[in-house]
Structure 1
Amino acid sequence: MLNRGTVLTTRGIGTLAALGYGEVETAKRPRVCVLSTGDELVDPARTPVGAQVRDVNGVMLTAAATQAGAEAAFCGRVPDDADMLNQKVSACCGECDILLLSGGSSVGVKDAAANCVSSLGELLFHGLAVKPGKPAFAGTIGKTLVLGLPGHPAAAYFVFELLARPAIYAMLGQTAREFTVQAKLTATVPSNTGREEYVAVRLEEGTAEPLMSKSGLISVLSRADGYIRIPRDAEGFAKGASVEVHLF
């Protein structure tokens, strides 16, 4: 038989049919809304002008939530305006189980996302001892879990893996599975203690090449096969060290 929380693949469906099950109860897929914030954001199909940047996180996070098993929808972009953000967040929370707020999580004059959650619901925490992804936050508005992800795409990706994917799996009754391999570093990776750090790597014949970059460079992740975790009490890994690579 299949255990509770098992994802029904073609093999699982065949097994149920062989056992005489024409119908089974399944978990309801959680509804995830993705909302991008920032004056500078434009549609990915547009050519940015001046300080504008393409909204990478909107499409990336919607795709990631869908891949994780959720019913995901992109709910648009909101400028750095507190009133407009409050209205849009309120409307989205009435339609979803999880709201992913991209951008506006850093502490700054224009960053109103965390304040929005505080005013409409309860802010659970603001800030994580991780790199990239330090300004992330979480809160609740009614029955909706609200996760604030950094505006930088690579940082947003790692925070999604850290917070959003486990939340989606929990709502599905699943346990998150990670696939890892051991590899030896081709270069030293320094780090500061006091925070957990994630570094993308490229694998080749049992070695892992660190792809050091700024947190906004999503192109680095597209060239990576996985990432390593540097514990918060470590000052990095030396060249030749055997590390556990978490595969994408």
Structure 2
Amino acid sequence: MTQRLPSSLTPLDTALAALLRGVDPVAPAEVPLADAIGCIAAGTPLLAAYPSRDIAAADGWALSANDLVGASAYSPLPLTEVPSWVEAGDAMPAGCDCVLDADAVEVSGPLAQVLAEAVPGQGVRRAGSDIVERTPAGAEGHPVGAADLMLARIAGLETIGVRRPRLHIVNVPDGTATAQLIAGIARAAGLDVKTHEAGARDEASIADALDVFSCDILLTVGGSGVGHRDAAIAALAQRGEVMAHGLALQPGRTAAVGRLGRVPVVVLPGSPASALAVWLALVLPLVDRLSARRPRLKVSRPLARKIASSVGITEIALLAQEHRAWTPLAVGEWPLQAIARADAWLLVPAGDEGFAAATPVDAHLMRE
């Protein structure tokens, strides 16, 4: 039996509220550093000061700056003994607070003379200069980045605390390229991603693939339309609950949201553009709730030209940054090349007709 979209599409805000209802952040977990990139930091330890004591920043002679006042090539300063030689990374000898280059000290047997002055700290990395005592290994509620992992490794950590929602993707045959796109984006966002292929595009095969795996979010990709071979909605209704099918969202009109037990489900269209739009508008807010993530960064720029939009439906515009302005690439309908070029995206609310040229708009970055 052919299914039909409802004559009245569900507003995006209504669908999102239904999807988020009852959803709480997942518990923090310790994960290996290699698996933490992109995950949201949670309960991370406080690091000890590094270096733990003053160390040489370069190879040279370790001395006290106060003992070198007035030394120059024209007025060498004789020393009572040959100073200590240090290599970069060595602990500074007691009483020494600077490191002079090799040619700044002349040594002849047991005699030595200094040919240059220095200031305290010259050639030295002070204790705690790289990592201040009690620095968090990652900023709570923010993605763990490469710099965070560098500090954690230097501090000797092997694991770090994060919130990492488990995402399961069920691919309906013929939607493989789209499923791979979404899986790649999800992994980059720090999710624990597993994928599964439905046996066929019929309702029974898709329903079998929807057996609840251990996950926090379930996505299906493909089969969300109203064609004879689009059975994902019926399969979800058979296994769980369809809360909304047919969204006032463009791209992404045929998407659906529901529940499978307590697990929120989003049915993504098979089209890459529509699936990506639904990911941005519906799945990302769900991921952020589960991760206890701080609000995502928005960047304000004036529009290089106007954006026209239809009243009554939320449209998503793709933007490129050019000359410190946002240039619209596509609104509502997205060519694949526009997706590849986009630097940011902008929700145009259903009640708006768009934005005039030169209007400042706050856009979400495609890649933070």
Aligned to 1:197: 315
Deviation of 1:60 after TM superposition, in Å, equals 0.8
Query: Distance in 2 between the 1:78 and 1:160 partners?
Result: 24
Q: How many equivalent pairs are there? A: 230
> Aligned to 1:185, what secondary structure does the other structure show?
coil
Question: Given the alignment of the two structures, is residue 86 of structure 1 paired with residue 207 of structure 2, yes or no?
Answer: yes
Deviations 1:119-139 (A, max 9, x none): 111222222222111222111
Which of the numbers 254, 257, 264 marks the counterpart of 1:138? 257
Residue type of the alignment partner of 2:201? D
Query: Distance in 2 between the 1:158 and 1:174 partners?
Result: 20
For the aligned residues, what is the CA RMSD?
2.8
Q: Is the 8 A contact 1:193 1:234 kept in 2?
A: yes
Aligned to 1:103: 222
Residue type of the alignment partner of 2:326? A
Residue type of the alignment partner of 1:189? I
Query: Distance in 1 between the 2:143 and 2:362 partners?
Result: 26
| Structure 2 CA distance for partners of 1:107 and 1:178, relative to 1, 3 Å | farther
> Aligned to 2:330, what secondary structure does the other structure show?
coil
Aligned to 1:49: none
Residue type of the alignment partner of 1:87? D
Deviation of 1:247 after TM superposition, in Å, equals 1.7
Q: Is the 8 A contact 2:168 2:195 kept in 1?
A: yes
Q: How does 1:27-42 map to 2 (within 5 A)?
A: 27-38=162-173, 41=174
TM-score normalised by structure 2 residue count: 0.55
Aligned to 1:244: 362
Aligned to 1:55: 176
Which structure carries more helix by proportion?
A: 1
List gaps (5 residues or longer) in structure 2. 1-134
Question: Given the alignment of the two structures, is residue 162 of structure 1 paired with residue 298 of structure 2, yes or no?
Answer: no
Aligned to 2:335: 217
Which of the numbers 256, 270, 286 marks the counterpart of 1:151? 270
Query: Distance in 2 between the 1:63 and 1:99 partners?
Result: 15
Which of the numbers 220, 227, 233 marks the counterpart of 2:351? 233
| Structure 2 CA distance for partners of 1:190 and 1:121, relative to 1, 3 Å | same
> Aligned to 1:174, what secondary structure does the other structure show?
coil
Deviation of 1:10 after TM superposition, in Å, equals 6.0
What's the % identity of the aligned pairs? 27
Residue type of the alignment partner of 1:205? H
Deviation of 1:159 after TM superposition, in Å, equals 0.9
List gaps (5 residues or longer) in structure 1. 42-53
Deviations 1:157-183 (A, max 9, x none): 121112222222222222341332312
Which of the numbers 73, 76, 87 marks the counterpart of 2:194? 73
TM-score normalised by structure 1 residue count: 0.79
| Structure 2 CA distance for partners of 1:27 and 1:143, relative to 1, 3 Å | farther
Query: Distance in 2 between the 1:82 and 1:231 partners?
Result: 34
